[in-house]
């Protein structure tokens, strides 16, 4: 075995990380839990899809902890088992070929500080057992060492996989899971916290523009609506990348939906004015491309509640009215979808498709039973009068 290269992330404690944006109730709850637990030595398990901000919150936990030692981050997926063992726990001189000097592991480096075990689900079984021992005994065994070394480390672990399910499948040690799962914090996906989108986008644009030495452009209403209509499977990281792309191309002081081009892949040519009788379950990205185009050309409302209605109607149309499938497509829970449909019904707006989709101009609006009404530059969508009302 050769000496591990210093390839893992190591963030010095000196500069605190940026404060996470938390405008939505869900993110405010996350930050409240983080603030409560920050100053305690309690182990924290950060769960959530890729790109939801787990590392950012881990850094916040350290900054708010008041712990005098450094913040040290290790990505458990970055190195094979043998190298990771020495990286985490250190080694004595001569412990293996190439170990010319004694080396402190990340646990020792994080003494009196915070150790982030990023992607802890990827830890190989032998190291899961070793980690369990460190968490129980608060001392590490260096590779080739004879005496354990005491450490005072606050452990924060992250996972974007369901550790409970991995335990059930025998892929993750149950005892380690219980040791890590002392104070779990689940980061909600971005699609479930649309209130965070405008302040997040503004903050990320400021940061990205500053790096390019430019003033940040403002997002106009069409851009904000396009963001709200996009599902963001890659969460905040995807948003950041989209804004970076848009910024590179942006020449003016305002960024529009067209400039954002969300979901516009090489093959996406859909526009809202295209005639479509398709019942295919094409990706949500394609709807977003169409939505972005439609927004840019003023054919869709920029009212969020109205857009939500259209998205729900479109999802239901695409899956032939199956609510379970529609909820999955929309990235929301079935109960949330049912509640929304009930509210629409109470308001006299029928969103569920009554029969085969008409699918001419703006099929989603047709399926939603909505009729356009021009109000200045804005198209509003009204509940279509029923047969009785019309006659």
Residues in touch with Mg ion (CB under 5 A): 55
- Sheet strand arrangement including 114-118: 71-75, 114-118, 154-159, 44-47, 183-186
CB of 202 to ligand ATP, least distance (A): 11
| Residue showing the smallest CB distance to ligand ATP in the complex | 53
Considering beta carbons, is residue 117 or 349 the nearer one to Mg ion? 117
CB of 9 to Mg ion, least distance (A): 9
State the number of binding residues for ligand ATP (CB under 6 A): 16
Instruction: State the binding partner of 48 from Mg ion, ligand ATP, none, CB within 5 to 8 A by kind.
Output: ligand ATP
Residue 237 interacting with ligand ATP (CB under 6 A): yes
Token readout for 196 is 């965070």
> How many Cα neighbours within 13 Å face the side chain of 339?
5
b (16+ CB within 10 A) / e for 45-69: bbbbbebbbbbbbbbbbbbbbebeb
Residue 56 interacting with ligand ATP (CB under 6 A): yes
Instruction: Please give the Cα distance from 158 to 287 (Å, whole number).
Output: 32
Instruction: Please give the Cα distance from 41 to 39 (Å, whole number).
Output: 7
In degrees rounded to 5, what are phi and psi of residue 373? -135, 120
Site string for ligand ATP, 116-155 (x = CB under 6 A): ----------------------------------------
- Which of the stretches 54-62, 88-96, 130-138, 377-385 binds ligand ATP when contact is defined by CB under 6 A? 54-62
- Whether residue 385 contacts residue 349, with contact meaning beta carbons closer than 8 Å, is answered with no
CB of 190 to Mg ion, least distance (A): 15
Residue 160 interacting with ligand ATP (CB under 6 A): yes
Q: How many CB atoms lie within 10 A of CB 309?
A: 24
Sign (positive or negative) of CA dihedral 217, 223, 229, 233: negative
- Whether residue 7 contacts residue 78, with contact meaning beta carbons closer than 8 Å, is answered with yes
Q: How far is CA 33 from CA 38, 76, 96, 183, in A?
A: 8, 25, 43, 9
Instruction: State the binding partner of 240 from ligand ATP, Mg ion, none, CB within 5 to 8 A by kind.
Output: ligand ATP
Residue 53 interacting with ligand ATP (CB under 6 A): yes
Residue 188 interacting with ligand ATP (CB under 6 A): no
Token readout for 385 is 């009068």
CB of 21 to ligand ATP, least distance (A): 4
- Which of the stretches 46-54, 100-108, 256-264, 347-355 binds ligand ATP when contact is defined by CB under 6 A? 46-54
- Which of the stretches 7-15, 51-59, 176-184, 315-323 binds ligand ATP when contact is defined by CB under 6 A? 51-59
- CA-closest candidate to residue 173, choices 124, 118, 119: 124
Residue 241 interacting with ligand ATP (CB under 6 A): no
Residue 21 interacting with ligand ATP (CB under 6 A): yes
Q: Which of 4, 8, 20, 222 binds ligand ATP (CB under 6 A)?
A: 20
Considering beta carbons, is residue 119 or 314 the nearer one to Mg ion? 119
> For every residue of 97-152, which 3-state class applies, written as one string?
CCCCCCECCHHHHCCCCEEEEECHHHCCHHHHHHHHHHHHHCEECCECCCCCEECC
Q: Which of 43, 44, 55, 130 binds ligand ATP (CB under 6 A)?
A: 55
CB of 28 to ligand ATP, least distance (A): 11
Considering beta carbons, is residue 236 or 351 the nearer one to ligand ATP? 236
Considering beta carbons, is residue 206 or 373 the nearer one to ligand ATP? 206
Binding residues for ligand ATP (CB under 6 A): 20-21, 48, 50-56, 160, 200, 203, 236-237, 240
């Amino acid at each position: 075995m050769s000496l591990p290269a210093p390839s893992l992330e190591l963030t010095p404690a000196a500069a605190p990380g940026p404060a996470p944006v938390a405008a939505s109730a869900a993110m405010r709850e996350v930050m409240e839990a983080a603030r409560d637990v920050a100053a305690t030595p309690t182990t924290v398990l950060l769960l959530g899809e890729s790109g939801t901000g787990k590392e950012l919150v881990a850094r916040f936990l350290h900054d708010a902890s008041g712990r005098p030692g450094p913040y040290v981050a290790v990505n458990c997926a970055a190195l094979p088992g043998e190298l990771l063992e020495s990286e985490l726990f250190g080694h004595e001189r001569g412990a293996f070929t190439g170990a010319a000097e004694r080396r402190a592991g990340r646990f020792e480096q994080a003494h009196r500080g915070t150790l982030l075990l990023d992607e802890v689900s990827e830890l190989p079984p032998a190291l899961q057992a070793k980690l369990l021992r460190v968490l129980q005994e608060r001392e590490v065994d260096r590779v080739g060492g004879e005496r354990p070394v005491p450490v005072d480390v606050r452990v924060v672990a992250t996972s974007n996989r369901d550790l409970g399910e991995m335990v059930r499948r025998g892929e993750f040690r149950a005892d380690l899971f219980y040791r890590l799962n002392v104070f779990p914090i689940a980061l909600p996906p971005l699609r479930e916290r649309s209130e965070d989108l405008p302040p997040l986008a503004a903050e990320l644009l400021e940061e990205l523009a500053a790096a390019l030495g430019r003033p940040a452009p403002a997002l106009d209403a069409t851009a904000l609506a396009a963001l709200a209509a996009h599902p963001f499977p890659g969460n905040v990281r995807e948003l950041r990348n989209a804004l970076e792309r848009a910024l590179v191309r942006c020449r003016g002081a305002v960024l529009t939906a067209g400039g954002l081009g969300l979901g516009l892949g090489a093959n996406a040519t859909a526009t809202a004015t295209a005639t479509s009788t398709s019942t295919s379950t094409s990706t949500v990205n394609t709807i977003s491309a169409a939505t972005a185009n439609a927004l840019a050309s003023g054919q869709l409302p920029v009212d969020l509640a109205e857009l939500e209605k259209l998205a729900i109607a479109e999802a239901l149309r695409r899956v032939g009215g199956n609510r379970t499938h529609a909820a999955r497509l929309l990235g929301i829970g079935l109960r949330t979808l049912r509640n929304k449909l009930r509210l629409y019904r109470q308001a006299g707006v029928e969103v569920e498709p009554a029969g085969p989709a008409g699918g001419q101009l703006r099929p989603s609006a047709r399926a939603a039973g909505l009729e356009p009404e021009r109000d200045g530059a804005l198209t509003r969508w009204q509940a279509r009068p029923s047969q009785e009302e019309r006659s």
